[in-house]
Structure 1
Amino acid sequence: MSSITIKSNKFQSTWAYLQLMRPANIVTAWADILLGYAVAGAVTVGISNLNFMTLGWLILATTGLYGGGVVFNDVCDAQLDAVERPERPIPSGEATLSGAIALGTLLLVMAIIAAAIVSQLSAILAIIVATCALTYDKWSKHQTILGPLNMGLCRGGNLLLGVSAIPSAVGNHWYLALIPIIYIAAITAIAQGEVQGGKKVTGMIAIALIAIVIGSILSLGLLPEYTLLITLPFLALFTALVLPSFIKASINPEPKLIQMAVKAGILSLIVLDATIATGFSNWIYGLLLLALLPLSRFLARLFAVT
């Protein structure tokens, strides 16, 4: 075998394992951490090397949590994907099952260690998120109600992981985790039909949950530390990106339209996080967070999102 062929095979293998990690989705998890960072008040307490180091460790932690969680999702679905999605890395043979298990384990362990460097509370939150992710992968994703709720808990916990940049802030802002819980529940609910098609009633429930999310953001204006007015352009962008695709998938729940709705919903997590973060910080920070969107969309062209 020539050296060129060996290098080509190594590249294909590396690419396959990167596909398992869903890089575009990981960027949206970074946005959760940046939102939590703003909610904790770390943006306004002053810039220091300690703040940047804390933020870096938390971003590394969420990279491991999300990457490890989705890798184990494909591990648990290996037999099903062999029938329904044979092009995926494991059933196609581009990645091995044992290799995927090793990668997923490494990522989750890395995540917990990185979180522990920040604080004991951060480590506990990372363990909770990892447990919720594995529970979803193995069992609850097949449950109509518990599946969306479980996945939402992963995202809500990830937001609180960002808030734990200042541990004392978690107790004061824990309720904000309900927003990503509801939003991810909407995406997960409509995603249940992305292979064989869905039901109109599921789409309507998802749209109702999106409406609750929008209403919840508007209600944050009641908080003395939240400035609603500067968030409205961000909220309008979020609504324009999400609602049309969800409505189309609800009216005509075909697999292709559902997959488009799921993709739009996942990538719009960045816009959702930027919207909320703006109110807790300023519009400049919101724009910086929103700058993750082009990166996530670029990666979505290279790697699968769902």
Structure 2
Amino acid sequence: MSKIKAYLQLTRPANIVTAIADIWAGFAVAGGALVIFADQTRLIDSPVFHNLLWLTLSTIGLYGGGVAFNDVFDAELDAKERPERPIPSGRVSKGKAALMAFLLLLIGIIAAWNVSTLSALIALTVAVLAVLYDYWGKHQFIFGPINMGLCRAGNLLLGISAFPVMLQSYWYLGFIPLIFVAAITMISRGEVHGKNRRALKGGFLMYIFIILSIAALSILEGNRFFHVIPFIALFAYMIFPPLIKAMREQIPQLIGKAVKAGVISLIILNASLAAAFSGWQFGIIVLLLLPISIYLAKKFAVT
């Protein structure tokens, strides 16, 4: 059982749930939620629902494999800074962790292929971007946050690709998770040593931009502003208090809490997008992933 838990720790289960929320939000943006709501009696037989399941499996593989490779490439550094992690602690060998990560990425690409060639190409791009970030991107001051944000942007677009034609209309939505995750990545740079006030302020401003963008989209896409208000309020409640505390004291423990809040709040961000495009009902469905992620975050590290 301890071996299984060690392998699960490599995949960051709580974070995988946030990746599933990306897919579900993209699915809602593309109109999939409205299709499902229109004919619930044949849900199990619906090709649209099957696409959602395949893309959900795809993101589990892509995210799990991506973060597992992160620990593979960081094994030597973690031996000094985080010796309790699975690889430096000896609970999982570096070779076996790399093999698991590769297989998970492969599963993610194959699952997306069952939806469309375009979905498979997006999944392949996400996999390449994830490995690039793990190996090189995270060490780059400017490109690192962008690289990580591109992974999330691709994940949202992967959800939209349930209806490939809709990517032509909504490709620009990838900028929302890109900016948000870039902000989280910036903030996380002080998680070990602290003292990163400049990055914390930058993250704060980027968070505000995200909230204003979602509010504007809710008005432009079907006048659903009042559908989105509760989700935006919850989003702000989750991300701002821990970030403000971290800005005041700049100590690793508080910065870590701000990062954790940001990662988990990805689900609320996605619920807000779902509500903006498909109504509060599907926003609630996406939001139901939040307690699952919070529970898993108590059992497994999110960073």
Unaligned 5+ runs, structure 2 = none
What do the CA deviations read for 1:207-256 (whole angstroms, capped 9, x no partner)?
Answer: 01111111111221342435122100110010011011111112221110
**Identity, % of aligned positions:** 52
CA distance in 2, matches of 1:38, 1:198: 39
Provide the alpha-carbon RMSD of the alignment.
Answer: 1.0
TM superposition shift of 1:114:
0.3
Pick aligned residue for 1:76 from 64, 73, 77: 73
Amino acid at match of 1:12: S
CA distance in 1, matches of 2:222, 2:93: 50
Could you tell me which runs of 5 or more consecutive residues in structure 1 were left unpaired when the two chains were aligned: 1-10
- CA deviations on 1:40-92 (whole Å, 9 max, x unpaired) are 01111344421111100000000000000000000000000000000000000
Structure 2 counterpart of 1:227, which letter? R
Q: TM-score, normalised by structure 2?
A: 0.96
Alignment of 1:23 with 2:20, yes or no, is no
Match of 1:294 among 276, 291, 296: 291
What residue in structure 2 maps to residue 124 of structure 1? 121
Aligned twin of 1:88: 85
Q: Give the conservation status (yes or no) of the 8 Å contact 1:192–1:198.
A: no
Aligned twin of 1:170:
167
Runs of 4+ off more than 6 Å: none
Tell whether 2:126 aligns with 1:103: no
Alignment-derived partner of residue 235 in structure 1: 232
Tell me if the contact between 1:57 and 1:118 (Cα under 8 Å) persists in the aligned partners.
Answer: yes
Q: Which moved more, 1:92-101 or 1:211-220?
A: 211-220
Q: Kindly state the Cα deviation for residue 31 of structure 1 after the two structures are TM-superposed.
A: 0.3
- Which whole-Å CA distance do the structure 1 matches of 2:210 and 2:141 have between them? 20
Letter of the structure 2 residue corresponding to residue 230 of structure 1: H
Greater alpha carbon shift after TM alignment, 190-199 vs 18-27: 190-199
Contact 2:66 2:127 in 1 (8 A): yes
The one-letter amino acid paired with 1:231 is V
Kept in 2, the 8 Å contact 1:187–1:206? The answer is yes
Which residue among 194, 202, 211 is the counterpart of 1:197? 194
Alignment: residue pair count: 296
Question: Which residues in structure 2 correspond to 1:109-258 (within 5 Å)?
Answer: 109-258=106-255
Deviation per CA, 1:245-294: give whole Å up to 9, x if none. Answer: 11111222111001100100000110110011011112121111111100
* CA spacing shift, 1:145–1:120, aligned 2, 3 Å: same
Which one-letter code corresponds to 1:160 in the other structure? L
CA distance in 2, matches of 1:265, 1:43: 26
Amino acid paired to 2:190: G
Cα-to-partner distance string for 1:133-170 (whole Å, 9 max, x where unaligned): 01100001011111111000000000000000000001
